């Protein structure tokens, strides 16, 4: 009986996370339970999970029996290729079977799109965990280094005697890499796989011998190395004390006196820096002040021997001129210029 139209076989009844929650779930999967730190990932971890990927997702079942998967080093592969037989009379392996060979020359990784690590092997803050020792509340800083990118190249071969079996496995490979890349969760880390090439290594040297097919799938793993021995856990500063040294001495504003002898004119220029609001000047000649120019000053007071003055006013030799100001912008410098004539 046919299914009705618009009938869905697979219904997703469990909501999937998106956005920030999806990224947080990735971090939770990477973190090692109970330590707050990510799990380490080394060569053997990537080899182990790649074998699981071939045995699991690429599982090949023919005639109700699972095709065996054999993991070999490149040295053992050369020996295996010379000595294996078709017949099982002497307990040799029979076809079909799948072999995995990982090339030993691991290359500098391309996971960072050609970028390199930060020089000096620094560690970076991964997480801050609050702590409490019964008296002081603080937190520990968990730091990890930048992972080292590495490319691992795997050769997956299918040995079989029928083209039909070859097509089934080829279909599984192509479907797995239909999106261009395949991700594996290795110790929680998302590691991509790339299908580099598909080749044929079938050899027919003698027509009298039994014929068989050998198809090669070259797969590159764009991984990275992260060793837990390089992780750091350091206590943060829980309490800090700052000391300030104060002085009662009040600095005075610097000043400059300009005299024009021919015209009998004099100018006294004072600069008040951000922390200075008053100044004192000894009078060295008789002056009649008639004008005051200010900048960044709201109010000012001028005293002669502690007597408040208003323009115009006269000063005599030996008197002390004091000026107090109120700035418009306290954090900026201010200037005041007193103009007059001397005698």
Number of domains making up the chain: 2
Q: Identify the pLDDT of residue 238.
A: 62
User: Are residues 100 and 229 located together in one domain of the fold?
Assistant: yes
User: Which range marks the domain in which residue 312 is found?
Assistant: 255-342
Six token digits for residue 166 = 């070859």
User: Are residues 226 and 296 located together in one domain of the fold?
Assistant: no
Q: How far apart are CA 294 and CA 276, in angstroms?
A: 15
With contact defined as beta carbons under 8 Å apart, do 52 and 238 qualify?
no
Could you tell me which of 221, 49, 81 has the C-alpha nearest to residue 149? 221
User: Are residues 167 and 123 located together in one domain of the fold?
Assistant: yes
User: Are residues 74 and 190 located together in one domain of the fold?
Assistant: yes
Q: Is residue 75 part of a domain?
A: yes
Q: Is residue 121 part of a domain?
A: yes
- Residue 102 sits in a domain whose CATH number is 3.30.2000
Q: Is residue 243 part of a domain?
A: no
Q: Identify the pLDDT of residue 87.
A: 45
Q: Identify the pLDDT of residue 15.
A: 67
- Residue 279 sits in a domain whose CATH number is 2.60.120
User: Are residues 314 and 207 located together in one domain of the fold?
Assistant: no
Q: Is residue 169 part of a domain?
A: yes
Q: Is residue 7 part of a domain?
A: no
**Which residues in 165-179 are b (16+ Cβ under 10 Å) and which e?**
bbebbeeebeebeee
Boundary-marking domain end, from 235, 268, 289: 235
Q: Identify the pLDDT of residue 86.
A: 41
Q: How far apart are CA 48 and CA 65, in angstroms?
A: 23
Six token digits for residue 323 = 């000026």
Q: What residues contact 261, with CB distance under 8 A and at least 6 apart? A: none
User: Are residues 54 and 109 located together in one domain of the fold?
Assistant: yes
Kindly list the averaged pLDDT for each block of 10 residues, start to end, along the chain of length 343.
60 67 66 72 92 91 87 67 53 77 88 76 83 78 89 92 90 91 89 92 66 89 90 76 59 77 86 86 87 90 89 88 89 89 82
Threshold 0.85, pTM exceeds: no
């Amino acid at each position: 009986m046919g299914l009705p139209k618009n009938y869905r076989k697979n219904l997703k009844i469990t909501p999937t996370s998106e956005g920030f929650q999806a990224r947080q779930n990735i971090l939770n999967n990477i973190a090692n339970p109970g330590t707050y730190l990510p799990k380490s990932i080394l060569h053997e971890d990537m080899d182990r999970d790649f074998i699981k990927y071939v045995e699991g997702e690429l599982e090949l079942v023919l005639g109700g029996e699972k095709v065996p998967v054999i993991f070999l080093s490149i040295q053992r592969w050369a020996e295996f290729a010379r000595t294996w037989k078709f017949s099982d009379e002497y307990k040799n392996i029979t076809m079909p079977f799948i072999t995995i060979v990982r090339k030993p020359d691991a290359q500098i990784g391309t996971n960072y799109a050609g970028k390199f690590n930060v020089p000096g092997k620094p560690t970076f803050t991964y997480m801050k965990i609050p702590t409490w020792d019964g008296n002081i509340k603080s937190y520990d800083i968990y730091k990890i280094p930048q992972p080292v990118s590495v490319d691992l190249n795997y050769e997956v071969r299918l040995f079989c005697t029928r083209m039909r079996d070859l097509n089934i496995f080829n279909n599984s490979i192509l479907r797995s890499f239909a999106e261009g890349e395949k991700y594996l969760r290795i110790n929680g880390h998302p590691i991509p796989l790339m299908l580099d090439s598909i080749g044929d290594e079938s050899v027919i040297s003698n027509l009298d011998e039994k014929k068989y097919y050998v198809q090669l799938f070259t797969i590159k793993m764009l991984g990275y190395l992260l060793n837990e021995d390089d992780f750091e856990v350091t206590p943060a500063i829980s309490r800090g004390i700052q000391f300030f040294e104060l002085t009662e001495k009040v600095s005075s504003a610097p000043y400059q006196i300009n005299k024009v002898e021919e015209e009998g004119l004099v100018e006294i220029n004072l600069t008040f820096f951000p922390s200075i609001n008053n100044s004192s000047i000894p009078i060295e000649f008789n002056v009649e002040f008639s004008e005051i120019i200010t900048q960044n000053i709201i109010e000012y007071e001028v005293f002669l021997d502690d007597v408040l003055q208003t323009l115009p006013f006269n000063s005599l030799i030996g008197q002390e001129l004091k000026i107090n100001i109120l700035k418009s912008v306290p954090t900026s410098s201010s200037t005041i210029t007193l103009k007059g004539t001397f005698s």
